[in-house]
């Protein structure tokens, strides 16, 4: 399909969409003239239909598919799930996913909160915030490529006088310090930490932006009253700032945690899931589209969905509590 054909398909899709919307509006206007009251279903109905076709039905199909073998020809019950929780390789995948969810959200939130506190009200605050927020404008694939070059390793022999110049910035710094370069993305289990650092680098700006807005929303009278009572900076942070921004902290933590559960681009770009760095989302892709094991891939997708649900439920409950206050 050439460019002209793609443009024609796009224009046709837009025209069909416009015709459908126009038809819905025409029917709604006609029914309103006749005194109908349930016209809202003409707007909600298409959305519900799309959710059923595009979300509910695939979810049910995935659950059913996870109960079949690799070829999808024989029902094997929960064997795929048993494999996930008993296979050594799959346990490494689950361990890595837990590391991502535990480390990245808390470190990124802590860095963002500390940065927001330090630059709050300082000269050049906008420029300082822009620097840490810039990585948010980069896609995960782009960030993965950037940091893959940062971690790049060239063969190094300490007995040789003329070793090749290190391309990776981190390894070149080690050479300048008189230390041997390291294969950051190969050495287990620390290679997972270096991948997680990429997520922290990206998400710290997001955390800083949201938490900075929450800190500025704290009433000035509250902080001034605390200072008049002799509260020092640490006590002010512990007893005033943190309780005041607690709902925002929960939102930031859970949002980053969900992103870590679904992380795929960084791992796929930097290591391809090799050297003990695979996570659930990457393994789901590998099993489904590379290894051809549709059943195991579907089971991994179901587990990923189940892991996300508690975080979302907790987030919603916290938001409701905050709104009720």
DSSP string for residues in 202-269 = HHHHHHHHHHHHHHHTS-HHHHHHHHHTT--HHHHIIIIIHHHHHHHHHHHHHHHHHHHHT--HHHHH
139-143, 224-228, 236-240, 317-321: range with highest mean pLDDT: 139-143
Average pLDDT of the segment spanning 34-49: 72
Residue 73 pLDDT level (bands cut at 50, 70, 90): confident
Residue 99: the pLDDT is 94
* CA 123/CA 220 separation, integer angstroms: 19
How high is the pLDDT of residue 161? Answer: 67
**Alpha-carbon radius of gyration of the chain:** 26
Chain mean pLDDT for the chain: 87
Report how far residue 18's alpha carbon sits from residue 41's, in angstroms, rounded to the nearest whole number.
Answer: 19
pLDDT above 90 (res 103) = yes
pLDDT of residue 86: 92
Average pLDDT, integer, range 54-72: 90
Give the CA dihedral 165, 170, 175, 177, nearest 10 degrees. Answer: 150
Q: Given a cut of 70, is residue 309 above it in pLDDT?
A: yes
| Axis crossing angle, helix 242-261 with helix 294-324, rounded to the nearest 10 | 170
pLDDT, tens digit (0-9, with 9 covering 90-100), for 253-301? 999 999 999 899 999 999 999 999 999 999 999 998 888 899 999 999 9
Please, which residues bridge with residue 75 across strands? Answer: 68
The pLDDT-based confidence of 149 (bands split at 50, 70, 90) is: very high
pLDDT value for 231: 79
- Picking from 10-24, 26-40, 53-67, 307-321, which range would have the lowest pLDDT averaged per residue? 26-40
List pLDDT tens digits, range 152-184.
988 777 667 677 788 889 988 988 888 888 999
pLDDT of residue 218: 85
Is pLDDT of 188 > 90? no
Neighbours of 102 (CB within 10 A): 13
In this structure, the number of other CB atoms found within 10 A of the CB of residue 50 comes to 10
| Predicted local distance difference test score (pLDDT) of residue 252 | 92
Higher pLDDT, 318 or 256: 256
Highest-confidence segment of 47-56, 145-154, 229-238: 145-154
Task: Please compute the mean of the pLDDT values over residues 306-316 and round it to a whole number.
Answer: 86
pLDDT, position 102:
93
- Report the range of poorest mean pLDDT among 73-87, 167-181, 183-197: 167-181
Q: Quick one: pLDDT at residue 222?
A: 83
Q: Which residue matches tokens 């439920």?
A: 313
Q: What percent of the chain has pLDDT over 70?
A: 95
């Amino acid at each position: 399909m050439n460019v002209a054909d793609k443009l024609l398909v796009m224009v046709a899709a837009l025209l069909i969409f416009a015709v459908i919307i126009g038809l819905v509006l025409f029917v709604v206007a006609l029914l309103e003239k006749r005194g109908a009251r349930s016209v809202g279903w003409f707007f909600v109905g298409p959305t519900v239909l799309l959710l059923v076709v595009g979300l509910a039905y695939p979810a049910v199909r995935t659950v059913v598919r996870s109960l079949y073998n690799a070829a999808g020809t024989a029902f094997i019950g929960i064997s795929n799930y048993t494999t996930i929780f008993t296979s050594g390789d799959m346990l490494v995948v689950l361990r890595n996913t837990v590391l991502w969810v535990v480390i990245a959200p808390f470190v990124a939130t802590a860095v963002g909160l500390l940065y927001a506190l330090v630059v709050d009200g300082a000269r050049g605050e906008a420029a300082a915030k822009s620097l840490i927020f810039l990585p948010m404008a980069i896609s995960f694939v782009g960030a993965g490529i950037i940091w893959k070059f940062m971690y790049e390793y060239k063969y190094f022999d300490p007995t040789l006088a003329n070793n090749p110049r290190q391309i990776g910035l981190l390894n070149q710094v080690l050479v300048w310090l008189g230390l041997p370069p390291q294969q950051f993305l190969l050495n287990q289990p620390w290679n997972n930490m270096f991948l997680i650092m990429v997520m922290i680098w990206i998400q710290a700006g997001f955390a800083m932006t949201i938490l900075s807005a929450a800190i500025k929303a704290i009433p000035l009278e509250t902080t001034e009253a605390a200072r008049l009572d002799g509260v020092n900076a640490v006590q002010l942070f512990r007893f005033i700032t943190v309780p005041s921004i607690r709902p925002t902290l929960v939102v930031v933590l859970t949002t980053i945690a969900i992103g870590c559960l679904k992380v795929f681009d960084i791992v796929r770009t930097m290591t391809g899931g090799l050297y003990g760095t695979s996570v659930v989302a990457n393994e789901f892709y590998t099993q489904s589209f590379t290894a051809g094991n549709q059943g195991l891939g579907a089971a991994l997708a179901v587990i990923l969905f189940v892991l996300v649900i508690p975080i979302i439920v907790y987030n919603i409950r916290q938001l409701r509590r905050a709104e009720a206050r």
